[in-house]
Structure 1
C-alpha cells in the first residue's frame, strides 16, 4: 500500500505502522470501484486508524445567461 511505503520511506519502522497513534486520512474520488466492499475492507484492514473520505459529487452549474 502506498501510504505504508511512504511511512517506511520517511524512516519509520514497518511494524510500528499499525500501532502508531498517527491518524491517516485517505481521500478517494467517486469512482465506483473505490466504493466496492472489498476495496473498503482492504483499506480498513491495512489502515486500522485511518479514515476514508470521498470527494463530494460535482455540482451542476447552470450555464444560463
Structure 2
C-alpha cells in the first residue's frame, strides 16, 4: 500500500499538480486498515471466549 501511494505521489509530482489528494487517500486507507484489523482482533477474542465458555459447559 505504501508503494502504491509513493508511486502516485511520484506520478503527480512530475506534472506540477498538488499531491494532497494522494496523501489524504493514503491516510484514509491506512486508517481504514487499522480500524478493520482492530475490529477483527476484538471480534476474534469475543468469539474465542464464547466458544471456550460453550465448550466448558458441554464437559
Same fold at TM > 0.5: no
Query: Which protein shows a greater Rg?
Result: 2
**TM-score for the superposition, normalised by structure 1:** 0.33
Structure with bigger strand share is: 1
Structure with bigger helix share is: 2
